[in-house]
A and B are shown apart, each in its own frame.
Chain A
Amino acid sequence: MSRISQAFQKHKAFIPFITCGDPDLLTTEKTVHAMVEAGADLIELGIPFSDPTAEGPVIMAADERALAGGVTTDQIFDLVVRLRQDITIPLVFMTYANVAYSYGSERFISKAAEAGIDGLILPDVPFEEKHEFSDLCGQYGIDLISMIAPTSEDRISLIAREAKGFLYVVSSLGVTGVRSSITTDIGAMIRLVKVSTDVPCAVGFGISTPEQAKAMAELSDGAIVGSAIEKLLAQYGTEAVEPVGNYVKSMADAVHSI
């Protein structure tokens, strides 16, 4: 069983996201350790991109801060190697197609696998284009994570049938970012997924409070949170390790209480 599947075995999963290098890689490293201690079941490591078209203002700003600080893909591979010395939960990269493609897709995927990455999320690579990356991912033992959205409708079963690792369920229309309420019928989407696959489903986009995380995890297999964490990084910078740890604990506790 892959590390990603195991992360959903014990209980519902809480999945925090962090932009690597915001504001510097040392802060990222310490924060990831704090997230693990706080109960994170799987962590999304964002490789910043200059023009992240699926992101709202909070993660866009995080990417800008990280790139302004000079972080590179190579430095992020090194970070993963260091993290893997004592972190055993699954780690997945979340970035944009060009970051992987421009590096050389095979070189990127093989180096990620070698460093200890379990999965890859590319929000600008839909089902129709996934073979460009999924064949290589399969070859190197990385799960290319598929996404479904509230607009997916008849595409849900198509996507779910070939899903690997976990299925990223986009909770709402629009880009990433905190929302006061989520109105999509997530339960109906998950039911459609479960007809086609046993791959666990985690819901992301717009989740920021323990109540929302719990509600979304109740309908699915886990909750993903990014912007709320990057807000803390924007606020506290290199001092964000403790506040992010406390926040992740409150979220993980809520999700694990189900």
Chain B
Amino acid sequence: MSESRGRFGVHGGQYIPETLMNAVIELEEAYNTYKDDPQFNEELTTLFNEYAGRPSRLYYAERMTNDLGGAKIYLKREDLNHTGAHKINNVLGQALLAKKMGKTRLIAETGAGQHGVATATAAALFGMECVVFMGKEDIERQALNVYKMKLLGSDVVSVDTGTGTLKDAVSQAMREWTSRISDTHYCLGSVMGPHPFPTIVRDFQAVISKEIKAQMLEKEGRLPDAVLACVGGGSNAIGSFYHFIEDEQVKLIGCEAAGRGIDTFETAATINTGRLGIFHGMKSYFCQDEFGQIAPVYSISAGLDYPGVGPEHAWLYDIGRAQYVAITDEEAVNAFEYLSRIEGIIPAIESSHALAYAMKYAPTLDKDKIIVVTVSGRGDKDCVSVARYRGEEISE
């Protein structure tokens, strides 16, 4: 009897069509070969540092700290990475791995467009073909990122099935992968999908917490009291949490998108409102109806607008190691505007969910406490939709 692989407690696994099984097995074998290979890691570190601009800064947000009057707030500035978000960490790792595997073509799904732009960027850098699947709804919400992907030489395929958002883009990318495997790597953008993706993506994103830990020890001589990050699929959050999981005194707080509220149907807060299910290759928590039909989720943030969550987060929740809070559109937009004014940093609307919780949480803590909030991306892409949310029509 063959054992199911890639479990985080009951979560994870490999729930995919037989057609893809040898592809994920090949990927796992390649990853196991290269993850501890000094040359691979040296190449990846060079890409991280010289190309993506790592390490990203750990910035003491003094004005925000003083204004909120509680814990000291540090911002992990993933927004300063090349392509403007944490997505590049994972993409450079996977593209390098794909190249070592002899693949010449990358496919990817994207929600807000950040992962699509990052994949298109890596494809340009490595001279690979690239096709990005993006929901029709998101293409309309994120026109600038669509243009960038095309500028970088990628094809962007509009997905108009289902709700025309991230989940449909993932489904379509999986369908595309079953039809063309031999030369194609599916560069999955979050800590989700079938094993080994949740592990691979986590390992490439774990650079975030590795740096936070070192930077915090250097600046403060101690570990932070809490680490906050937004959670859709959960890649920047797991990256921010990973090296602190063993440090039980560090609270780990994931911030989900509540949309119009977790008591409404217009929400994407999976851990807060979903239940255990099997979808997109994994067992985890999903927003779904009583018959297991996946719910049409909603958030102002295209990057958090996903009905599931990565299996490792589901497990961290089960064992009580991390907590997951829900942040509404309104709270996220307030935080978007707040950070822009008080620190001169325009955060991505996704990251604004974590900042919104920091605004509530920091004042409840003593001034000698320290929290770190990961600013997973920059907010240039969100200015039009936030302006629209506030009733102002602007064009790019």
Contacts and interface: CB of A to CB of B under 8 A. Distances in A.
A53 B174 contact: yes
Contact of A98 (B23, B178, B180, B277): B277
Contact of B18 (A72, A98, A127): A127
A124 B15 CA distance: 5
A100 B167 CA distance: 20
A251 B181 CA distance: 32
A149 B15 contact: no
A236 interface: no
Contacts of A2: none
Interface hub of A49, A51, A67, A103 (most chain B Cβ within 10 A): A51
B351 to A, nearest CB: 27
Contacts of B21: 126-128, 149, 151-152, 155
Nearest to A173: B179
Nearest to B279: A98
A57 B161 CA distance: 9
A129 B4 contact: yes
A173 B286 CA distance: 28
A174 interface: yes
Interface in A32-73: 49-51, 53-54, 56-57, 60, 64, 67, 72-73
Given A98-B288, A101-B278, A51 B171 contact: yes
Interface string B1-43: 1111100000001111111111100000000000000000000
B166 to A, nearest CB: 12
Contacts of B175: 53-54, 56, 174-175
A147 interface: yes
A57 B175 CA distance: 10
A74 B291 CA distance: 9
Contacts of A53: 16-17, 171, 174-175, 280
Contacts of B280: 51, 53
A175 B179 contact: yes
Contacts of B15: 97, 124-126, 129
Interface string B166-206: 01100100110011110000000000000000000000000
A200 to B, nearest CB: 18
Chain B interface helix/strand/loop/mixed: mixed
A78 interface: no
A149 B14 contact: no
Contacts of B171: 51, 53
A173 B181 contact: yes
A56 B4 CA distance: 27
Contacts of B127: none
A201 to B, nearest CB: 14
B101 to A, nearest CB: 15
A51 B19 contact: no
Given A50-B294, A53-B175, A147 B13 contact: no
Given A53-B280, A72-B291, A153 B162 contact: no
A170 interface: yes
B102 interface: no
Nearest to B281: A124
B22 A152 contact: yes
A252 B275 CA distance: 43
B292 interface: yes
A129 B19 contact: no
A136 interface: no
Contacts of A153: 22
B18 A102 contact: no
B292 A98 contact: yes
Nearest to B13: A129
B22 A51 contact: no
A125 B15 CA distance: 5
Nearest to B20: A151
A151 B167 contact: no
Given A51-B167, A151-B19, A175 B178 contact: yes
A50 B162 contact: yes
A67 B22 contact: no
Given A51-B171, A173-B180, A159 B18 contact: yes
A158 interface: yes
Contacts of B16: 53, 124, 126
Given A53-B175, A98-B277, A173-B178, A128 B294 contact: no
Nearest to B5: A128
Contacts of A175: 175, 178-179
B395 interface: no
Given A51-B167, A73-B291, A126 B17 contact: yes
B293 interface: yes
Nearest to A162: B1
A174 B23 CA distance: 13
A206 to B, nearest CB: 11
A216 interface: no
Contacts of A125: 15
Interface in B262-277: 275-277
A148 interface: yes
Given A54-B178, A170-B19, A173-B179, A128 B4 contact: yes
11 contacts: A53-B16, A53-B175, A53-B280, A54-B178, A67-B293, A96-B278, A123-B17, A129-B4, A129-B15, A151-B22, A173-B179
Given A53-B280, A102-B277, 14 more contacts: A50-B293, A51-B171, A51-B279, A54-B17, A99-B293, A101-B277, A101-B278, A123-B18, A126-B17, A129-B14, A149-B19, A150-B19, A173-B180, A175-B178
Interface of B: 1-5, 13-23, 161-162, 167-168, 171, 174-175, 178-181, 275-281, 283, 286, 288, 290-294
Interface of A: 49-51, 53-54, 56-57, 60, 64, 67, 72-74, 96-103, 123-129, 131, 147-153, 155, 158-159, 170, 173-175
